[in-house]
Amino acid sequence: MLGNPLIRHSDRYRSYNIRELTIGKVLAQKAERNGDKVFLTYLPDGRRYTYRDLDRASNRLANGLLANGVDAGSHVAILMENSPEQLLGFFALGKIRGVAIPINAASRGDLLRYFLVQSDATAIFIGARFLERVLALGPALAKTIRLVVVVPDGPTQPPAEQSGDWPCIDFASLMEAGDETPPPVEASFRDLAMIMYTSGTTGPSKGCSFSQARTFLWGMSHAEALGYRASDIFYVCMPLFHVSALLGSTYNALTADASVVLARGFSASRFWDEVRQSGATVGNMQGSMANILWGRPPSPDDGNHKLRMCQVSPCPEFALDFEERFKMRFVSGYGLTDYGSTHAFTLSDPISKIGSAGRTRRGIEARIVDEDDFDVPTGEVGELILRDNNPWGAGEGYYKMPEATVASMRNGWFHTGDKARIDEDGYMWFVGRSKDTIRRRGENISAFEVELVVRKHPAIEDAAAFPIRSELGEDDVAIAVVLRSGHSLGELELIKYCAAEMAYFMVPRYIRWVPDLPRTLSHKVQKFKLREETEADRSALWDRDAAGVVLAR
């Protein structure tokens, strides 16, 4: 149950009864407490939903799902752009013990099939404009996906009945099939609520399991550490299929009795106008967002807003100048979808520590170790390993991947695979990712999955994806390609092939044709050599941007 709103902020979140942290109970409590307070404002069309509206609407949707054969406990994928309907989908599924599977809206082809099959999805919520991607997966999968809920998306409208072998129903019809009474399903805080997929670093993407309680504890950790208030308005422009926007911001605002203004997506030209017009007090920037905003021409209105803090990751080198120009403060931290949020740099921390991920949050232990799990001296770089002593706060493992779950917890500690150092004051400084991943504009891209798709092309013998420094900060994706003997392939043909089989942000920007890949004696590809050689001389690279190729999203 909820704590006394007059007691200290940190104590308020500790006073939650974890056994009461189910979406049904939390929404009902919030509707009773906050009633007509607006929780959600959707910026593209101005729609507003109070706490009571969301509770009742998600009841209708939950009952509509049950009436249309989506049984309690069903696994349901959600492939949509930011919208109130998307959020209602998460809430309604939680109320019937359903398991939501957020899918990156750029997913298509084999990767989309993998997400649907590996997660055991039996239904899917999908924006109308994405419907063709699912239909293209063929009739075999249609036998598994028993219901496709199609949501209007701008000018694209859902079909009236079925699309081939796929049983479709439009969102409005589903809502009409249910009533506003709570669904006749009792959920437990321990029930699996979400499967969120990692980028897939050394193999296929792993589905991270989230209990009903953990979906709330993630955001409550942010609220406790960073000092969010009931009067705050969260500006959310990052996609709700990411843990940061969904749990770190939206569910966070719900537990804090705060409000959310939801944008369809990030737009550098609209960002500050939307923040200003909505009265937002809290924001979130990931990846290159800060770099892009910093690069825009200064304006007299730069500091004309109510934003008091913005969580940023990674913290840019120009953070102090950014704060001065835009009259706001950065907070930061460290977290993994696999395990949780473990560190926080707050408004109370010294300016000299800006750029760090801060210190451990309540109940978290962190160590820096060598390859044999022995501690390295203070200030030296090693692998960051973690232990969360908060009940139900830590990651609950990977869905249907017991070996990977066990491997991640060697010697009783979660191994992040990330390089970091901890200074004498306990502040953690992120150094780099030792996993085989590429960070591009806020997206963690699996080099393994890029290579998996590229290698399927009949003209390609082998390929290695690796990062190249980008002018916007972070990295762009480069791929070294070895052609099969007697085959030829043009750059545009390869890009077209990739765009049809992977998310747009995964499609390589750079292509380098090579006779062979550099390897160790154990036959592992030496990607550091590819990167070093390419950074030293980019003349051998074909650049998609320079060629004027624009990818459809």
Does any domain span residue 523? yes
Does any domain span residue 196? no
Strands (E), 60-127: 75-79, 99-102, 123-127
Give 151's strand partners.
127
pLDDT for residue 518: 87
Residues 155 and 268 in one domain: no
Does any domain span residue 19? no
Residues 302 and 373 in one domain: yes
Using a 10 angstrom Cβ sphere, with 0-12 exposed, 13-18 middle and 19 or more buried, the burial of residue 116 is buried
Report the relative pairing of strands 414-422 and 282-286 from DSSP bridges. unpaired
Please state, in angstroms and rounded to a whole number, the distance separating the CA atoms of residues 501 and 454. Answer: 9
pLDDT for residue 180: 95
Does any domain span residue 355? yes
What is the number of structural domains in the chain?
3
Residues 366 and 427 in one domain: yes
Report which DSSP code applies to 247. Answer: I
pLDDT for residue 4: 31
Please state, in angstroms and rounded to a whole number, the distance separating the CA atoms of residues 122 and 70. Answer: 8
Does any domain span residue 38? no
Burial code (b: 16+ CB inside 10 Å, e: under 16) for 378-405 equals: eeeebbbbbbbebebbbbbbbbebeebb
Residues 337 and 374 in one domain: yes
Residues 270 and 388 in one domain: yes
Tokens of 461: 């013998």
The CATH number for 468's domain is 3.30.300.30
The CATH number for 130's domain is 3.40.50.980
Residues 475 and 363 in one domain: no
Does any domain span residue 387? yes
Q: Which of 263, 269, 302 has its CA nearest to residue 284? A: 263
Residues 449 and 423 in one domain: no
pLDDT for residue 1: 32
CA 549 to chain centre: 27
Domain boundary among 416, 433, 450: 433
Report which DSSP code applies to 311. Answer: E
Please provide the size of the chain in residues: 553
Tokens of 72: 């309690």
Rounded to 10 deg, the angle between the 84-95 and 51-67 helix axes is 60
Q: Which of 278, 221, 284, 233 has its CA nearest to residue 260? A: 233
Residues 167 and 240 in one domain: no
Tokens of 453: 């798709």
Residues 450 and 488 in one domain: yes
Please state, in angstroms and rounded to a whole number, the distance separating the CA atoms of residues 518 and 523. Answer: 9
Residues 91 and 108 in one domain: yes
Q: Which of 413, 408, 478 has its CA nearest to residue 202? A: 408
Residues 93 and 232 in one domain: no
Note down the domain range covering 88.
Answer: 49-187
Does any domain span residue 28? no
pLDDT for residue 553: 76
Domain boundary among 380, 408, 433: 433
Give 464's strand partners.
480
**Rg of the Cα atoms in the chain:** 23
Burial code (b: 16+ CB inside 10 Å, e: under 16) for 276-308 equals: eebebbbbbbbbbbbbbbbeeeeeeebeebebb
The CATH number for 408's domain is 3.40.50.12780
218 phi/psi in degrees, rounded to 5? -60, -55
Report which DSSP code applies to 19. Answer: G
Does any domain span residue 1? no
pLDDT for residue 523: 61
| Residues of the chain under the 50 pLDDT cut | 1-10, 201
Domain boundary among 154, 187, 220: 187
Residues 448 and 366 in one domain: no
pLDDT for residue 178: 85
